[in-house]
Structure formats: C-alpha cells, structure tokens
Structure 1
Amino acid sequence: MAPLRSNKDGKPRVPRTTESAETNRMLRGPMLLRTDGNQTSTYDQRLLESGADHAWKHADPWRVLRIQGEFVAGFDALSDLPKAVTVYGSARTKEDTPEYAQGIDLGAKLVEHDYAVVTGGGPGIMEAANRGAYEAGGLSVGLGIELPFEQGLNKYVDLGINFRYFFARKTMFLKYSQAFVCLPGGMGTMDELFEMLCMVQTGKVTNYPIVLIGTEYWSGLVEWMANTLVAEGYINPQDMDLFLLTDSVDEAVEHIVAAHKEMTDERVSRLNHDA
C-alpha cells in the first residue's frame, strides 16, 4: 500500500475526520451541526412531501434558491476537476471484506492512470475507493448526501461537498465523471447504475464506460436483463454492451483507459491532452 502523503513539515499526512459519531455531529446540507440524534426527515423528503408552507424558510420559492445554491456550489468546487471516475458501492461493506480491499485497489490504480476518484463520500466501498486514491497520492472526492442514518463524509476525502438534494448530487456525478464503476451495493447502487445505463442508452450523455466488478454478485441481474429485458424486447441486444462485467480491477481500469483513448468527446480529449 502506498505511503501517506506528507505535510510541508515532512511529517506523514493523517486523514482528517469531517464529522464524528462520538461527538454527535452530522452534516446537514453544507453545514456541520452538533445533534442529539438522528433527524426525523430530510430536505428531499420535505421538498417532495410538503404542501404549501408560507414560512419563508420552507416555502417553495426559497427552496428553489437553496437548490440553485447547491448547483452553484457543486459547479464551483468541481469545475477544475481532472479526469475522474466515479465508484459506486455499498456503505455497509466492512473493512475486512474482499470487496473493501478491491475498492482500495481500484482507487489506487485509477490514480496511477491520472484519474481523480469520486464517490458518494460515505463509509464502506465509498470509503475504500477514497482511501485507495488518498493513500496513492491522488485526488479523492466525496459527494455526500444528507441522510437520517449515515454520518457523512469519510476521513479519506480531499475535496468534499455535502448535498441536501439527490438530484443536485447526481448531476455532479454525471457532469464531472468520465467513467463509472459499480462494486456490490444495495438500493442506492442499483439506482445509480441504472441511471447511468439509461442516460447512456438514450444518448443524454456521452457513451462513457461503465464497469460492474463482481461476477458472482452481478451475474443474476445481468442474466435477468438478457433473459427478460432483451428477450421480451424491452431493451435492444446491443444495450448489454453498455457495460463490462469483470472480477478484475486491472481489467476494469484497462477498459476505462482504452475507451477514453477511442472517445472523441471534447472534455475527454482535452483532459487526456492536459494529462
């Protein structure tokens, strides 16, 4: 494993923690607050479930400005991001699992090929990929989300932004990443995977490479897609070529690098030239 980067005084750089369960602090949007427990609802929930509310901080016109602010903050923070790969995966994966080790390896090898590593900033697989990038001396990015049951950005994030709204956060993944890798995960990972596939399939975004790591985990889903979605005409056979399924971190990274060499997308071409 690569050594930690050093500070200006030559001492090993120690990751800092942005929030702590021990001190009961949580990120609420961009704010770090001391709390006495889990919150009862999120900004997304209040936006989507609330009726008319004339209290100025909760009225829809004010929410529009808050949403606008999230986009401005995200665009501003990420505008100079180099080539980047987003890594998705479960927040529940433990540090002693093979999947966590794969996440570290993936983050480090992406850095070796001059990619920044972007995750949802949480624990589990996200932490592993951020950790791999951090310890390899690369740029580790976390785009967090306000949730009632998670503590926020992991300690290996160099550049972190915390979002109130899922749709604002998803836009940042799409806008500033040029490839996407999914390790085993739950509902959030499935949501992110199928959003990427849908955006590429419909031509809403450039055909960026998508990789699934873990044949045992993903094979049931892939077989269902082939035997049901393709077989019954809900998707085209060539849609199965929108992603690579592999157990190899090396193959995943090589697939991304090779795809980017062939792509004519202006952003990828410019970033390749700058590298």
Structure 2
Amino acid sequence: MKQRRGQVVEVRDLADFDERIGAGVASMAGWVLTGLDLSDRSAVLADASVAGAMFLGCALAPGVEATLEERGAIVFPALPGAPVDPYRSSLYSPAELYDVTDYTGSLDARSYAWSRETGREALLARALHDHGIDTALAAWVAGRSLVGVMGGHAAQRGSEEYAAAARLGHGLAHTFTVATGGGPGAMEAANLGAWMAKRSLDELDEALAVVAGVPSFRPDIGAWAASAFEVRDRWPDGGESLGIPTWHYGHEPPNPFATSIAKYFGNPVREAILLQVCNAGIVFLPGAGGTVQEIFQDACENYYADASSVAPMVLVGRSYWTETFPAWPLLEALARGRPMEPHVHLVDTVDEAIVLLG
C-alpha cells in the first residue's frame, strides 16, 4: 500500500482497497476508486466516511450509488461497450495496443471501430478517456526536455528518407526525449532511432534492415507491427520516446517503437498537445499537408511568445522547404523582428539539425 500524504489516492485494485480499509482508514476523502467491483463491499462502504471520494466506473450493489451520493461522494457510472477504460490514468504501451497477433482483433483496431459510434454514452466515454490521457501525459512529460520530430507518414521503411529520420531520432535521444505523432513513416523512424539510442549506428542500420522487410503497414498491419516487435526483442532495453497518435486516423496504426503512447480519440486536442509538449523544439522533416499545418501552428505559438518561451524550429531540406513546399520564406518573414527570429532554422541534413539542437 503506497502512502500518499496530502495527495489524491488512486485505488484501482480491490486488494489495495481492502488493505487500506483493513488498516483502519476512517475517511475516504480524496480517494479516486476506478473500475472496482464493490458489489459485495456495501457494508464496508456504509461504515466508512465517503464524503469527498470519487467512484469511477465501479460496480455497486443496487441502491448503494444513491446512498454514496447522499453522503457526499461523487459517482460516475460504468460505461458499457467501451473497449478502452474511460477512466484511464496512464499512457499506453505498444504491447497493450497490439495485445493480440491478429491486428483486426487488437485493442487498437477495436477502439478505432468503436470510435465511429455516435451514441451519447460512447461520446461521453471518449471525452473522459481523452481527459485521462491529458492528465497522464502532463505527469509523464514533467521534468523532461522533449524535442518533436514531425514529418510525412508516407516515408517507407527501406528508403533514405526513413533512414534519415531514424538517424535524427538516434542523435537527438542522447540529449532529449524524442516525441512524434506516433504513426508510421518518419514518425516511426524517429521513434525507432530513439529506441536504438544506446546502440551503435551500425546496429541501427541492422535494425533498419529488419523492418525494411515489411516496407509499409499496407496491406498487413499485423506483419508491419510484428517486424517492429522483432527489433524490440532483438535489441531490448531501448531508449524511451513518446508517441501521440489518434484514432481519428484509423488507417494509420500507432508505431510500436514509442515506449509511451498518448493515444487520443479527438484529433484537434491531440494536434495542439503534440506541439505544446515539445518544450525543447521541433524538427520538421519533409512532409505534406499535415506537416505544413504543424509548422505554422508551431510558428503561431512562437510568434506570440516572449523571448523566454520560444522553442527552436528546425526545417530539414533546403530545396524542399523553399521550392517543393515553400514554407520557409513565409516562416522567415513571419519571424523577422520577433523574439522567435534567432530560433528558426533551415538546414540541409538531419546531422545539421542534431548539432544545432544539441
């Protein structure tokens, strides 16, 4: 039983509940009880002071909910049919989302299918879930220096574009925590590089060769994910990194190289959070609509920030960002004369980006 003096006490295990009650706890004020089957603990609840306690999705005997509320507790009912825990208080691991070999039966796939439901209970469950992910993510990022890597989801394993993103993640992870949108392509490559940060570049090349055997998540997400888990098994104890994907894009599965995954149902919140948590800057690799949007979302934040709050922006690919998608001239003009001006950069290679931020 963990002691939490003066803090919220989270109780998610029936044994923990019984131990606390058995220790003679008189008041449950500040307790947050989640997903417990308390249907045969009615007598215990009747004897305890429940004012200030919160019951989230707990099973209760008939009539107990009303008496708890009358005595000052807050009760949120269970929301049936949700494949996820609406009251979740931690980030996901890749193993949770890919909990079975057949992707179509996985938690990730089932959650996407359920995300299409429009009933009131489903909408409420998704909102509560995303709030819980918000809270868990805020706790996870505290004390960490995060650098974001943004780029196209279309970069295929085996390509130079993918390998460059992996080298970027590998280099940044020696100093920072790497954060990405958590999907395939350049995002996966950066998380892969971070996973291999404790290994040599030669070993990184070996890992890239393993995943290159399944270049894309199309047509078989299961095979794509399996090759990533093969790398994780072959080179265990990898470096940590963060992925922030969304079920809004059901066709883009989360990559298994992000060690912690903040997966949201709502994409607008996810987009904003992804940029906000990158307190040590963001590197923008070649990409299309989504990456361009992220550049100018980040630019807007920096445009209105004071000098102490500006985070570096590094665009990689001089010809790409001046000719193919000429975002750089506009970004440069926007930054001119503002505190952000010395913090926006255009470079040719990921190696330059690593040096610049390191």
Q: Do the aligned partners of residues 88 and 63 (structure 1) sit closer, same or farther apart at CA in structure 2, a change above 3 Å counting? A: same
Q: State the shift of 1:144 in Å.
A: 1.1
**1: CA distance, partners of 2:103 / 2:273:** 32
1:128-164 residue CA offsets vs partner (Å, 9 max, x unmatched): 1111110113322111111344343212111112111
On the 8 A contact 1:16/1:156 being kept in 2, the answer is no
Q: Which has the higher contact order (CA 8 A, sep 6+)?
A: 1
Higher alpha-carbon Rg: 2
Shift of 1:96: 2.3
Match of 1:121 among 158, 173, 182: 182
Q: 1:156-214, CA deviations, whole angstroms, 9 ceiling, x for partnerless residues?
A: 11111211123332224313531100001122111111111110011178111110111
Give yes or no for the alignment of 1:23 onto 2:84. Answer: no
1:237 is the counterpart of 2:336: yes
> 1:244, CA displacement in angstroms?
0.8
CA distance in structure 1 between the partners assigned to 2:322 and 2:288 by the alignment: 15
Write out per-residue CA displacement over residues 230-253 of structure 1, whole angstroms, 9 at most, x where no aligned residue: 4xxxx4634665421111222212
Is the aligned partner of 1:72 residue 2:152?
A: no
Determine if the alignment matches structure 1 residue 225 to structure 2 residue 330.
Answer: yes
Alignment deviations for residues 41-71 of structure 1 (CA, whole Å, 9 cap, x no partner): 769xx7xxxxxx8x44436xx7764543332
Percent identity, aligned pairs only, is 26
1:256-271, aligned counterparts within 5 Å?
A: 256-257=357-358
Give 1:5-20 correspondences, 5 Å limit.
18-19=97-98
Are residues 173 and 219 of structure 1, via their aligned partners in 2, closer, same or farther at CA, if it must alter by over 3 Å?
A: same
Instruction: Report 1:7-156 matches (<5 A).
Output: 18-19=97-98, 22-25=102-105, 32-34=108-110, 39=113, 55-58=120-123, 65-80=128-143, 82-112=144-174, 114-137=175-198, 138-156=239-257
Partner of 1:186: 288
Stretches of structure 2 that go unaligned for 5 or more consecutive residues are 1-93, 199-238
- Taking the aligned partners of 2:309 and 2:108, their CA distance within structure 1 comes to 36
Asked whether the 8 Å contact 1:87–1:181 carries over to 2, the reply is yes
Cα distance between partner residues in 2 of 1:89 and 1:17? 25
Contact 1:39 1:148 in 2 (8 A): no
Output the aligned Cα RMSD: 3.2
2:315 to 183, 196, 212: 212
TM-score, scaled to structure 2 = 0.53
Instruction: Please tell me the residue identity of whatever aligns with 1:128.
Output: A
Q: Which residue of 2 aligns with 1:6?
A: none
Change (3 A) 1:33 1:251: closer
